[in-house]
Amino acid sequence: MVITIDGPAGAGKSSVSKQIAEILGIKFLDTGAIYRAIALILHEAEIQPEENILLREALLKIKIKILGKKVYVNDFDVSSEIRTPKVDKLASVYSALKPVRESLLELQREQENYGSLIAEGRDVGSVVFPNSDLKIYLTASPEARAKRRYDERISKGMTADYEKILLDIKTRDEYDSQREVSPLKIPDGAIILDTSDMTEQQVIDKILGFVHDRGLQKIEAE
């Protein structure tokens, strides 16, 4: 069984997917983490997005591994380093490049060989797993998403500026949905869930309802 959750930044995809994976006892594939890891490494290697040949050479040498919630690049654990505002921006830029997307496609698809999974990202239902059993497009207004990010940072004791977060979200939305390769879009056959006025628990329950309606829990049990 493969469930895909696509949608813009801050729609709650990661948190919802993680919890559904736990409830259903299946794997969680955070494809954004893979793009973040590769962007961080390319940036540290000082390879600019427009250096096409250098970029392709570097991509051949970079080995990314995902083990549970951890992401490794050439055996280095980069799981925390990739969660910074700086990497938010780098990932948006490098993930728009065709060679980067091509080099990561197989890695994402082969995760299906290790068992049922819920994958979240921007093109998991449209490009990576076009035949998935259930496709969800999770969205929310930019204001609702910015408010969630703001609350999240404040609750972690970090400083936050709502207007700046909102602007970053709008910029990333535009960048992710207007790029030429695999732009963020609603996959064919996806169920659209606008979560602006929903709690996280309501979103989880709704998706579990779709899983149940399609008899997917039964597939999992078999």
Residues making contact with ligand DC (CB under 6 A)? 9, 31-32, 35-36, 91-92, 95, 121-124, 172, 176
Q: Which is nearer to ligand DC, 122 or 135 (CB)?
A: 122
Q: Which is nearer to ligand DC, 31 or 103 (CB)?
A: 31
Q: Which is nearer to ligand DC, 24 or 31 (CB)?
A: 31
In the complex, what is the shortest distance from the CB of residue 208 to ligand DC, in angstroms, rounded to a whole number?
22
Cβ burial, residue 80 (10 Å; 0-12/13-18/19+): exposed
In the complex, what is the shortest distance from the CB of residue 36 to ligand DC, in angstroms, rounded to a whole number?
5
Q: Which is nearer to ligand DC, 107 or 217 (CB)?
A: 107
In the complex, what is the shortest distance from the CB of residue 144 to ligand DC, in angstroms, rounded to a whole number?
16
CA angle 87-65-129, nearest 5°?
85
What b/e string do you get for 51-77 counting C-beta neighbours within 10 Å, with b at 16 or more?
eeeebeebbeebebebeeeebebeeee
CA distance 166 to 142: 7
